[in-house]
Structure 1
Amino acid sequence: MKKIFLMAAAAFFAFAANAQAPARNGVYYLVSFPNAAHHEAEITMTLTDVPAIGPLKVRMSRSSPGRYATHEFGKNIYNVKATDISGKDLSIKQIEGDVYEVGEHGTVVKISYTLFGNHTDGTYVGIDASHAHLNMPASFMWAIGMANRPVKFEFNDLDKYGWKVATQLKHEGDNVYSAPDLQYMMDSPTELSNVKTNYWDVVNTNGKKQKMGIAVHSDDDQATVDKFATMVQKVVLEEKAVFGEQPDYDYGSYTFLDDIHPTNFGDGMEHRNSTCIVDRSEKIAGNENNLLGTYSHEFFHSWNVERIRPKSLEPFNFEHANMSSELWFAEGFTQYYGELILARAGFNSIDDYTGTLGGLVNSVLAPPAPAKYSPAQMSRYAVFTDAGVAVDATNYTNVFTSYYVYGGATALALDLRLRSEFKITLDDYMRQVWLAYGKTGKPYTIPDLQNVLGKVTNPKFAAAFFNDYIYGVKKNNYEALLANAGLLLQKAAPGKGWMGRIPGRPGNGGLVIGGSTSTNSPAYKAGLDANDTIMQIDGKDVKEAAAINDIIKDKKPGDKVSVSYKNRTGNHEATITLEESPSVEVVTYEKAGKELSQQQKDFRSNWLSSKVK
């Protein structure tokens, strides 16, 4: 025993002069940044109590919590090495793009590698002298078969760069943080930077005090961050009011991690006890309302998707894309509430909100995909579209509508129908889903959601709604539903000629169509599609997309225009019969010059007013 202890002590002292020794049966990461200016980190993973029999396999992830498509994180690690407890090199072999195997080894194995990261968003890694923005699956290798082991991190070089640590990982002291297992670790984004923070207490319905806060890496002063935090507090309380209580956050706290800079890639990514928000603005100041939309959406996820959890995502698999038929609810209903909360909290006026409503309704009435594909089917398509990468052309224009807005439009219709037909609200429904599946930690299926709706309404209504609008492609009567609140649904461009959106770029002597034309557009019906080059419309040269609008701006539905175009089969002539655009807009009765009844005023107020007591 004494001999083993001395060997281990010497080895771990060599590992890092200030590192803590890894716990038995644990996983320990040492993270350093000697070359942050060139976007690199040096990471060593120490594994103890490794089974001596059989090869050890370690890997990078190919998926990330909150993302549903595949991402090849293994491409950004290199210089992968393995050593034993004494520092002796072990043979390590790359057996797949992101999987490595150590054949012969002892009970302690150290894996070291260089991580490159220069893409600051919610999915990838951003490292420079100003910060290390770490999404865990994109940053850390892990050992296959050791997912239930406790994890510790030690972050070096914090003083060197003037960084602090912002994360939902548990702080163990100094620069050491921990997670109980791999799932929690992967769900814990970490920002190392000179963050400015503002924390406040919220007393939950059960009497427990919870710490809420924002940790912002931006060029704002502390006063701006503090002022913005008071705005975020209003969002937090409005969302708490929807469910009647907040979740009991692990370690009693929830943090909004926010990184703001023009070189970022905009994103928002929900996590169990935090959210990762990345924005491309210059700073918070002057962009508060735009930022609040992401805060509102992501915080709602701390109930819906982080705890009200689809069974299809439990447990989350880090080796491949995670497909779910429930994203219309998990993401779509969250999309609806994210914007609704801003209206209830007083940040968006009714006229602001009508623009949001128009966008939701358009998403299901204007494009061709919702007429053919259900919200459940569009949810499954996320494995291709959720920040997925495709170098080949796709036909998304005609076969995909985002489950965010499709589900948001479905939530809007259900909310208005519950209010008008049953005198209850979508808040009542969400609260019951929370009590049945979120608070209990029991993953749900679509039939489970239907059963809850049947309990707050009746089974017949619930069955019809799910058959028609979740499994099916039937559309709600948005015009009648919105009228209950004194909102008018009308054509966005009545009486104007429309030939469809032409995604094009100058080239080949004209305008090259750069993507699929929509199947419900006059251009598609006339035979135009991707890679055709439009030369002239009605005898006028076309070299940019704006020229099309200029040519048809005074034309009406039913008017015909001649089109000269060419492709690999030669030169062609076509006639396009213009139609009226299917796009709609929502305006208040007041703006439309219509009188608003007291009943409509009350309906609107009950829907959009604050619910904070």
Structure 2
Amino acid sequence: MKKFLLPAFTALTALTMGTYASAIAQSPIAYTVSFPNAIHHEAEISVQFKQLTAAPLRVRMSRSSPGRYATHEFGKNIYHVKAFNAAGKPLVLNQLEGDVWEIPKHEAEVQIKYTLFGNWVDGTYAAIDQSHAHLNMPATLMWAYGMDQKPITVQFNDLKKQGWRVITQLKPMGNDVFYAANLQYLMDSPAELTLDKHVSWEVVNPDGKKQEISLSTHSDDDQAVVNKFADMVKRVVLEEQAIFGELPAFDYGKYVFLHDVHPSTAGDGMEHRNSTVIVQPAKAIEGNERRLLGTFSHEFFHSWNVERIRPKTLEPFNFAHANMSNELWFAEGFTQYYGALTLTRAGLNSVDDMLSSATGLINSVLNTPGAANFSAVESSRYAVFADANVAVDATNKANIFNSYYSYGGAVALALDLQLRSEFNLTLDNYMRQVWLAHGKTERAYTIPDLQNVLAKFTGKPEFAAGFFTKYVYGLQKADYAGLLDKAGLVLKRERAGKAWAGRLGALSSRSSEGVSRSTAAEGLMISSSTLMGTPVYKAGLDAGDMITVADGKNVKDMTTFNEVIAAHQPGDEVKIQYANRTGKHETVIVLEEDPGLTLVTYEKAGKTPSAAQLSLRNDWLSSKIK
């Protein structure tokens, strides 16, 4: 997702200290980050620019962050912004926008100082307290227009005072100073400053080259627990290496998981070129290992798919506004599919766990209005509004958007099963071909590029064209029941014969969620849009309506409403009394059979799979480590 000047950066990875000194002679942009008031979530930051021309110097805070597609107003958390010349004399500093400043007149050297407030631990923002400084660089460091390619140093102060060490993919240069070749690499390099529990191990590529993988954990677990968890992460790393045939060539030969576990965190996973931030709101790792591993499986897969197999729509990444992409169904969705599949192959999750994940993917495309009315490409584009974007006004998101994670995951599932059953090939093979064509070469791709790889790989251009036309650009959905049957799996209604009134938002087959969970003395308020095509939608009920009576019973909460629905059969009519700003009304909900699907093996369905079905299933779900 991030733009790197490869010739310059590749050369940098092999630089000696002498060549580094030559780069430093270019007068790098120099940041200093200090923590005199960590207890109150503040950092003091200065940035020094040298060898400036006489043109006005314009600086800003970012509005977007690598791996995020919507805007995030990082400028709101900096204040006391001041500028000085080399002698420490204050300069005129004009604020042009909420996050943009300009120094109209200056000499060759300028220093800008400001205070950063950070108290949100996730993969995007910054957080500072006495236990750590969790720094995502777009949320932390101001940058200057026109200086994208200048080398950069960052010095972290107060480490001994706080009892911290620095964990980051930035190149350490000694004396708590770290180096980035350019702005893109800096912004893509989060740092965790803390007293961590650390585990490192080596992984060997087929060419014999060894690379170091590290798990850096900030949690309340003891080292033995972290060691045991690292053993599980090792299995994930090896399974994903087997898919692509090799690890990427990590810069400086190292990759690190920046892992933060505490109930107070926001939770997140955010991929970067040679690291990933994984924030998990749990009390501890111990006792939650299997639940926590899913993020590791997903994020490490991004080392190939997104970080090096990169969509051209995100090249270069723009830090000043939202970054829209057509390809998130592949970048995030295929990664979502492999996240679950890898855990089952590694023996860390069961076959049933994988089938449950597949069920969720299938339900998302077969039983949501978003997938019925909008393509995988359109779903990807909506990320600029959906990816942790905040809106105070109501949206109709539930009816127009199906997450590109699940949408793309369902496309991946369909392609994998089609390749296996029709071509005796696999999605693993396809991903490896995409890696060789666009990842290892770091040649950004378009959707036609992905189609071309599939056409060459299968030797069937007409198959590739049809698949992309129907399932990527179009609204058609694969025959999942037929494809899964070839693996000895049965796709069926989870609550066959059970009455259903409709759903609101996320798919749930356990209750009627056409109304909100909020209650009021007068009845049950619908707070969000009802879903197109559901019984409650057809009955004319929507946000702002308050259900007071259902089937002659007073409705005070969701439990009462669900009980009324559960007492009926599909096809029954339930009379509803409701009120809104136009007065009191009546309507009728015509109940339907719950469309929610579930996936079970032939064996659990009382059927006997054939040898061919078992062979396909076992090859699909079994370990690929040789």
Residue type of the alignment partner of 2:558: A
| Residue 529 (1) aligns with residue 542 (2) | yes
**In structure 1, which of residues 457, 482, 489 is the aligned counterpart of residue 491 of structure 2?**
489
1:549 deviates by 1.1
Q: Secondary structure at the match of 1:185?
A: helix
Q: Distance in 1 between matches of 2:24 and 2:84?
A: 15
Q: Secondary structure at the match of 2:420?
A: helix
1:554 deviates by 2.5
Q: Distance in 2 between matches of 1:259 and 1:569?
A: 50
Judge which range, 500-509 or 129-138, deviates more: 500-509
**In structure 1, which of residues 532, 540, 558 is the aligned counterpart of residue 571 of structure 2?**
558
Conserved 8 A contact 2:521-2:556: no
Q: Distance in 2 between matches of 1:502 and 1:23?
A: 64
| Residue 116 (1) aligns with residue 117 (2) | yes
1:591 deviates by 1.4
Residue type of the alignment partner of 1:610: S
Q: Secondary structure at the match of 2:332?
A: helix
Judge which range, 591-600 or 372-381, deviates more: 591-600
Q: Distance in 2 between matches of 1:22 and 1:605?
A: 55
User: Where do 1:293-442 residues align within 5 Å?
Assistant: 293-442=294-443
TM-score (norm 2): 0.94
Q: Distance in 2 between matches of 1:32 and 1:111?
A: 14
| Residue 460 (1) aligns with residue 466 (2) | no
Q: Distance in 1 between matches of 2:375 and 2:82?
A: 48
Deviations 1:339-397 (A, max 9, x none): 00001000111112211111010000111111111000100000000001111000011
Residue type of the alignment partner of 1:392: D
Q: Distance in 1 between matches of 2:400 and 2:481?
A: 25
**Which residue matches 2:514?**
502
Deviations 1:126-180 (A, max 9, x none): 1110000001001000011101011111111111111111100001012111111
Residue type of the alignment partner of 1:584: L
Conserved 8 A contact 2:24-2:151: no
**Which residue matches 2:14?**
none
Conserved 8 A contact 2:491-2:598: yes
**Which residue matches 1:171?**
172
| Residue 29 (1) aligns with residue 31 (2) | yes
Q: Distance in 1 between matches of 2:356 and 2:560?
A: 27
Q: Distance in 2 between matches of 1:274 and 1:542?
A: 51
Moved over 6 A (4+): none
Q: Distance in 2 between matches of 1:23 and 1:80?
A: 28
1:486 deviates by 1.3
Q: Distance in 2 between matches of 1:376 and 1:543?
A: 42
Q: Secondary structure at the match of 1:247?
A: coil
**In structure 1, which of residues 27, 44, 47 is the aligned counterpart of residue 46 of structure 2?**
44
Q: Distance in 2 between matches of 1:323 and 1:508?
A: 44
Conserved 8 A contact 1:22-1:28: no
**Which residue matches 1:12?**
none
Conserved 8 A contact 1:365-1:583: no
Q: Distance in 2 between matches of 1:164 and 1:486?
A: 52
1:508 deviates by 5.7
1:482 deviates by 0.8
Conserved 8 A contact 1:496-1:554: no
Q: Distance in 1 between matches of 2:24 and 2:587?
A: 72
Q: Distance in 2 between matches of 1:203 and 1:23?
A: 36
Conserved 8 A contact 1:40-1:127: yes
Q: Distance in 1 between matches of 2:260 and 2:283?
A: 10
Residue type of the alignment partner of 2:387: D
Q: Distance in 2 between matches of 1:96 and 1:257?
A: 33
Conserved 8 A contact 2:515-2:524: no
**Which residue matches 1:14?**
none
**In structure 2, which of residues 604, 607, 612 is the aligned counterpart of residue 594 of structure 1?**
607
Q: Secondary structure at the match of 1:595?
A: coil
1:546 deviates by 2.1
Deviations 1:13-61 (A, max 9, x none): xxxxxxxx9854311111001111111000001111111x221000000
Q: Distance in 2 between matches of 1:471 and 1:289?
A: 36
Residue type of the alignment partner of 1:46: Q
Conserved 8 A contact 1:22-1:46: no
**Which residue matches 1:6?**
none
TM-score (norm 1): 0.96
**Which residue matches 2:583?**
570
Unaligned runs of 5+ in 2: 1-22, 503-512
User: Where do 1:207-286 residues align within 5 Å?
Assistant: 207-286=208-287
Deviations 1:268-292 (A, max 9, x none): 0000000000000011111111111
Change in Cα spacing, 1:167 to 1:598, as seen in structure 2 (3 Å) is same
Residue type of the alignment partner of 2:614: K
Residue type of the alignment partner of 1:276: V
**Which residue matches 1:581?**
594
| Residue 79 (1) aligns with residue 119 (2) | no
Q: Secondary structure at the match of 1:171?
A: strand
1:77 deviates by 0.3
Q: Secondary structure at the match of 1:450?
A: helix
| Residue 607 (1) aligns with residue 620 (2) | yes
The alignment-based identity, stated in percent, is 61
1:492 deviates by 1.4
Conserved 8 A contact 2:199-2:214: yes
1:304 deviates by 0.2
Change in Cα spacing, 1:576 to 1:103, as seen in structure 2 (3 Å) is same
Conserved 8 A contact 1:323-1:383: yes
Conserved 8 A contact 1:23-1:48: no
